[in-house]
Amino acid sequence: MRYVFQLLLLLIAFHSIAQERDTAGVDLFDILIGTKKKEQKQQYREEKKVHFALFPAAVNVPGGGRAVITAVNAAFFTGNPQTTNLSNIYLIPYTNFGDRYGLYIRPNIWLPDNTLDLTGDYRIAHFPQSTWGLGGDSPQWDESLIDSDYIRVYQNAVFRISGFWFGGPGYALDYHYNISESSYSGTGHLERYEDTPLTTAVSSGLAANLLFDSRKNAINPIGGAYLLMNWRWNSTGLGSTFTNHALFIDARKYLLLSNVHDHILAFRSYYWTIITGDVPYLHLPATNWAPNFGIASRGFEIGRFRSNAMLYGEAEQRLPLSRNGLFGMVGFINVASASEYRTQQFTYWQVGGGAGIRAKLNKFSNTNLSIDFGFSKDFWSIWINIGEMF
């Protein structure tokens, strides 16, 4: 992270010299190629059908060690940009050149005139994650480490109903195997949760989705609103360990405060609950595991709070730092509550917050490099993303 910030500081110093001369909008590519080559490359970049954004980084991995991530985002239109939302695909491979690795692929494809939206989340990974038990006030000292291999396959297809309303089916698979727990004293959390701890946990089921989405660009929304209601039915007939029903509701609103600059006030909240049935421990609602695009709970450890239901809310202010849109900053605050287990009682509320910087990676897709510092009680971390966090 030290080298990342040194690079950005260097670019800021270089950019300040040219800022007065270029107010048409620039990105990091323009800075790297220089003013003379910029004019030659401008038309070529404008005519490209697919706009890429790439950033390599090193991050901490739960359980110790470092991982190298090279995140790639490809953005494109499948139809008329005036009537079709911007589609994008994320490709995120990572490895620590040891026993921790993974590959994430996240497509969000809008067909011409927004007649159909295809979203997916495909993951294969081997990684450890810490856990602290169940409920909204689980103590920091009661930590253990759960290791496993993981496969996720989410695929949804929503068709336009009317205006910005869409609806359609989906399929969801969460598959953990080679599960083991270590680094605990007394009894592990898996053993407390289940009489016989599972070494394999499967949640395989059908989904029904109702979506409202008035955003033109999900990578960096400039105004608009988003509401997803997702009902999921996991069944032993489809390979699940247990039969159960779950509900996830995700609401987001973006207020454009200035037409001159991308000055945005953004809000997000979600409610995630198990309606009926038993659920494997690793598939319970938990911090940083919300089953939808976007990063929530910055400042909290992955899986820090876990239960049968979760409530979450967040507000973020996004401000420009340079007149040509190259640099910006954000400040955010979030609050989360895991219910008391097997109830809908949200007794304890955990607060996090932080700030971050933005650098324009690709001005044609309006894609930012996001680097945020988030903190909560007993924890802090750096979060890196291509695009806004939500």
* DSSP sequence for 303-342: TSSB-SEEEEEEEEEEEESSTTSSEEEEEEEEEEEEPSTT
Has residue 316 been placed in a domain? yes
Among residues 130, 101, 136, 123, the alpha carbon closest in space to that of 301 is found at: 130
Q: Identify which has the larger pLDDT, 177 or 31.
A: 177
Residue 78, pLDDT above cutoff 60: yes
| CA neighbor of 306 nearest in space, from 142, 165, 68 | 142
Domain that holds residue 321: 2-105+131-145+217-229+244-386
The pair of three-digit structure tokens given for residue 209, joined into one six-digit string: 């989705």
- Quick check: 353 and 375 in contact, CB under 8 A? yes
Q: Is the pLDDT confidence value at 25 over 50?
A: yes
* This prediction's pTM: 0.90
Q: pLDDT tens digits for 136-175?
A: 999 999 999 999 999 999 999 999 999 999 999 999 999 9
Q: Is residue 201 in some structural domain? A: no
**For residue 260, what pLDDT is reported?**
66
Q: In terms of residues, how long is the chain?
A: 390
pLDDT of residue 349: 97
Q: Is residue 175 part of a domain?
A: no
At 133 the three-state DSSP class reads coil
What the block records as the tokens of 210 is 């109702």
DSSP string over 51-105: EEEEEEEEEE-TTS-EEEEEEEEEEE-SS-TTTSPPEEEEEEEEE-SSS-EEEEE
Q: Which among 278, 221, 290 is positioned nearest to 254, based on CA atoms?
A: 221
Query: What percent of the chain lies above the pLDDT cut of 90?
Result: 72
Report the share of the chain in percent with pLDDT over 70.
86
Task: Give how many domains the chain has, as a whole number.
Answer: 1
- Can you tell me the mean pLDDT for 284-311? 95
Instruction: Determine, yes or no, domain membership for 121.
Output: no
- 25-34, 59-68, 293-302, 358-367: the lowest-pLDDT one: 59-68
Of residues 19 and 360, more confidently modeled: 360
What secondary structure letter does DSSP report for 292?
S
- 2: its two tokens: 């030290």
Instruction: Confirm whether 312 is domain-assigned.
Output: yes
pLDDT tens column, 106-145: 999 999 999 999 999 999 999 888 999 999 999 999 999 9
| CATH code assigned at 74 | 2.40.160
| Tens-place pLDDT, residues 82-91 | 999 999 999 9
pLDDT at 259 over 80: no
Mean pLDDT of the chain: 89
SS3 388: coil
- Asked, for residue 194, whether it belongs to a domain, the answer is no
295 falls within a domain: yes
* β-strand partners of 274: 246
Residue type, 63: G
